Chains A and B, each alone.
Chain A
Amino acid sequence: MSIILEHLTKRYDGHPVVNNVSLEVGDGEFFVLLGSSGSGKTTILSLIAGLTHADEGRILLHGRDVTHLPTQQRRVGFVFQNYALFQYMTVAENIEFGLSIRKIPAAERKRRRDELLELVGLAGLGDRMPRQLSGGQQQRVALARALAYRPDVLLLDEPLGALDAKIRIELRRSLKSIQRQLGIATIFVTHDQEEAFDLADRVGIMSFGRLIEVGAPEDLYQRPRTEFVASFLGSANLLLGNVNSQGVTVGPLHFPIEQEILETGQERRVQVLFRPEDVALAPEPKALDCPRLGQAEVEEVSFGGAYERLRLRLPPIPNVRPISPPSPFGTKSILVDATRSPEQAARFPLRPGAKAWVGVHRIHALAHPGLSFLIITDGSLRAQAAIELGGQIARLAHARVTLLGCGQKEEVMQEHLQEARKQLGSGLASLEARLSPEPVAAAITKAVEQQPFDLIVLGFNPQEDIPLAEQILQVGEHHLLLIPRPQAPPSHALICVARGEPGKDDVLFAGRLVRHLGADAALLSVLSGNDPDAKRRAERFLEDGIQSLALLGVPAQAIVHQGQPVEVIAQEVKRGGYDLLVMGAPLAGQKGQISLSGVVEQALNTINDRATLIVRSHFIGAQIYPLIIES
């Protein structure tokens, strides 16, 4: 192995920008790290080159542990996005720089320099100054410079990012052939999927500091293991269906099992992926030569050069939930993306508004991770209530549970965790117990950094625990269920919605959780004034919310009231007998801090006898590392 990374972690301001990354790159392999900006891919290159130093983990290059070596001794060739040529040296001097540092004799330097100029296609331009060259030529010089002293590995940080489309493709080709010629192990960082697929022997997908999946381009595209990769690469139609020993079912679609997705033999939920090119369209159901999904209405048609792109709208299908493309808030329908070749388009022309039968040629099923809960316990009575209710909800939601014991002496905790495990007992998708010697907030931060959760369950005393709740909301993109006392699983949820984008997230996550409980929901909007326009807007928003909940299978009603928010909520809770209160977390302040003071805090203090779910919208904007679903 040329490059081995072991559990590499790098933090800035306490947040991991590279989070426990392990990777092996073989001799002569062309490995591409693909991810959106800020996903930590460039930091990984800097760590390998020693331009920044890792907080944890090891780096081995050709078996040599370089983790603590300075950059100069690592023998890595590095190509930067902005070329980073030495402006005060000629092209030739640039290329010879690494050789002159190593005191290579002038004649040998000249020979090597001419060889490399020829390799990168710039023979005869050695006397130019860098600024006399075009961007593409400058990057060729940078490549020659990096390769001149025969480094052990080659690291390329978005080297084509600053170039025009045409030059980019040209340089991509030469880069690939040069790499093949030299057989040097290479890591290439990019956010461009086409570039990644074109160049890579293997691709690694990064998101928020984590290396999510590694594989050959085709495998990752056709057979991803995670929802993230499925929807990150290309466009994906992703629906939630079921799998059993007969095969995979999504509404009317039925496919025999193509892989070992079913381990236990039990029926369970799976995510079903089909790519736009796997979608078939026909005027009649009989004309489809593959399983059909239903009749759809064409919503958009666009010209994509070599193919035609369509977006279709299907009526809701019982027991099927769309994941990607996401259904817009306020619609019940399922969206499907399709592409067709010009011949297919000519045979069956479609315009927006037309009807077509939708069939699917091929699917790929991937495990549905479901929800994951983190239940916090310090052995107190309240924590006991949290374990009990959290466990019951997890059982109903098929959620994976991690039990985190903290805030107590280790021996006491050990015993308590044993007990809690027994109490949670069977029927959980998975249960893991962890012990942390640290105080509660720190323990949660660490746990969330290791693995993101959807929901954190906390036994809660409104008099004491508000700051803790704020801290918890700040350290990750999870929601928070606060349980002040023992109660049965909720059957009526009151979702207090603020209008606007964050309000949509509140409705959708609450709906996802409530659906598993078999509960019904009421959407409550509290108006401060008597403005009829505001009332109309609120009603329309709630109506959209009801549609979106219907797609999830949650029956819901809308309530609009006028008055003091907390008073209205308290009255409504009493009147309707709701046993779960749902509220959105307030937006974060400028430094990313979340404060619950105001309506949320007042409501928590007033309605302190039943569970409250605080939903953290992804619009909140605190500086945290968001949720990633991993298998």
Chain B
Amino acid sequence: MEKTPPLSLERRLSQPAGKNVSRRPLPWGRWTMRSIALTYLTVMLIIPLLVILQDGLRAGLSGLWAQVSNPIAWHALKLTLWTAAVMTIINTGMGALTAYVLVRYEFPGKSLLNSVVDLPLSIPTLVTGVMLVVLFGPQQALGVWLKQKLGLSVIFAPPGIILALLFITFPFVVRAIQPVLMSLDRTQEDAAATLGANAWTIFRRITLPPLILPMASGALLSFARAIGEFGSIVIVAGNIPMYSQTAAVYVLGEVESENRLGASAVSVVMLAIAFCLMMIVDAFQRRSRSNLS
């Protein structure tokens, strides 16, 4: 019988070390996992997105533009953007302050407050709308008072939209800043104090710089979230074209009146805005992480 010749020393050496000891796992597992994840992503996210894009561009760019520049649609888009912008400015400031207080100060009820911050994420937005109507409605004490003393109507008007958006997006800025603030090295602030810096200078030059990026990404996130808000606004804003009708509500109207092209066109614009914002947020977050490490 012929025996298999023993491996020459050279050949044995040329084999990568450990190859005989540990066999590589079969690639099946990894490929299956990847393909399941990617298929899911495609079916659930990418195909609907492509379909709406295709639908919006059905009549070409000029067709899309004609739909978007229709005065009612155009006003709805503008209203959506400016209310979201006002909300974002307020929310960034107040969210940063809330995060700072939650991280840096001890007070009774702190942990309760900390969990209340996330509440808007789990309350149905319709309920948010109802709450605001109950609080500020034209028949309610506060609403009447505001109308009489300040001439300000909240419900069925843009201020109501801003209030609803503020409520819904409250967690975004807080939760973006909080972890960064918690991981900050306090001794840098102590060092600045020993060098003679007062509290304001320490905040401005030491504490704030690492918070800028998380603040910006939190702000953009809340802006993006606000653009698509529907449930609370449909109750609060009253859906008055050219006055208090936002883009999302406009899309519903178009769908109901069977103008699919109008609905898709405005949807595509909203989508484009959201997509750009997400790209920026992602870039910010990556930079913020690399700065901290």
Of B185, B187, B197, B291, which one neighbours A101 at CB under 8 angstroms? Answer: B197
Q: Does B190 contact A80, Cβ atoms closer than 8 Å?
A: yes
A-side contacts of B194, CB under 8 Å: 49, 51, 71, 74, 76-78, 146, 151
Q: Does A102 contact B196, Cβ atoms closer than 8 Å?
A: yes
Is A414 engaged at the interface, CB distance under 8 Å to the other chain? no
Per-residue CB contact flags for chain B residues 193-228 toward chain A (1 = under 8 Å, else 0) read 111111001000110011000000000000000000
Q: Does B198 contact A88, Cβ atoms closer than 8 Å?
A: no
Interface residues of B in 172-195 (CB under 8 A from A): 185, 187-188, 190-195
Is A357 engaged at the interface, CB distance under 8 Å to the other chain? no
B-side contacts of A221, CB under 8 Å: none
Is A82 engaged at the interface, CB distance under 8 Å to the other chain? yes
A-side contacts of B210, CB under 8 Å: 87-88
- In the complex, which residue of chain A has the Cβ closest to the Cβ of B292? A87
Chain A CB count within 10 A is highest, among B188, B209, B210, for B188
Q: Does B195 contact A145, Cβ atoms closer than 8 Å?
A: yes
Chain A CB count within 10 A is highest, among B191, B196, B201, B210, for B191
Assuming the contacts A87-B210, A87-B291, A88-B209, asked whether A101 and B195 have C-beta atoms less than 8 A apart, the reply is: yes
Assuming the contacts A101-B196, A101-B201, asked whether A78 and B191 have C-beta atoms less than 8 A apart, the reply is: yes
Is A72 engaged at the interface, CB distance under 8 Å to the other chain? yes
Q: Does A84 contact B196, Cβ atoms closer than 8 Å?
A: no
Q: Does A97 contact B192, Cβ atoms closer than 8 Å?
A: yes
B-side contacts of A146, CB under 8 Å: 194-195
Q: Does B195 contact A149, Cβ atoms closer than 8 Å?
A: yes
Interface size class of A (residues with CB under 8 A): 20 to 34
Q: Does A82 contact B195, Cβ atoms closer than 8 Å?
A: no
CA gap between A62 and B127 in the complex, in Å: 66
A-side contacts of B197, CB under 8 Å: 72, 97, 101
Interface residues in B, total, Cβ within 8 A: 18
Q: Does A98 contact B185, Cβ atoms closer than 8 Å?
A: no
CA gap between A170 and B278 in the complex, in Å: 49
Assuming the contacts A88-B210, A101-B201, asked whether A71 and B188 have C-beta atoms less than 8 A apart, the reply is: no
Is A197 engaged at the interface, CB distance under 8 Å to the other chain? no
CA gap between A337 and B187 in the complex, in Å: 42
A-side contacts of B196, CB under 8 Å: 72-73, 98, 101-102, 149
Assuming the contacts A82-B185, A87-B188, asked whether A51 and B193 have C-beta atoms less than 8 A apart, the reply is: yes
B-side contacts of A97, CB under 8 Å: 192, 195, 197, 205
Q: Does B190 contact A84, Cβ atoms closer than 8 Å?
A: yes
Q: Does A71 contact B193, Cβ atoms closer than 8 Å?
A: yes
B-side contacts of A78, CB under 8 Å: 190-191, 194
Per-residue CB contact flags for chain A residues 35-72 toward chain B (1 = under 8 Å, else 0) read 00000000000000111000000000000000000111
CA gap between A98 and B196 in the complex, in Å: 6
A84 to chain B, nearest CB (A): 4
B-side contacts of A80, CB under 8 Å: 187, 190-191
A90 to chain B, nearest CB (A): 13
B72 to chain A, nearest CB (A): 47
Q: Does A86 contact B206, Cβ atoms closer than 8 Å?
A: yes
B-side contacts of A262, CB under 8 Å: none
Interface residues of A in 427-447 (CB under 8 A from B): none
B291 to chain A, nearest CB (A): 7
A-side contacts of B191, CB under 8 Å: 78, 80, 84-86, 142, 145
A residues apposed to B, CB below 8 Å? 49-51, 70-74, 76-78, 80, 82, 84-89, 97-98, 101-102, 142, 145-146, 149, 151
16 contacts between A and B (CB under 8 A): A49-B190, A49-B194, A78-B190, A80-B187, A80-B190, A80-B191, A86-B188, A86-B191, A86-B206, A87-B188, A88-B210, A88-B291, A89-B205, A97-B195, A101-B195, A145-B195
Sample of 16 more A-B contacts, CB < 8 Å, known A78-B191, A88-B210: A73-B196, A74-B194, A77-B194, A78-B190, A80-B191, A84-B187, A88-B206, A97-B192, A97-B195, A97-B205, A98-B195, A101-B197, A146-B194, A149-B195, A149-B196, A151-B194
The 4 closest A-B pairs by CB, nearest first: A98-B195, A84-B187, A88-B209, A78-B194
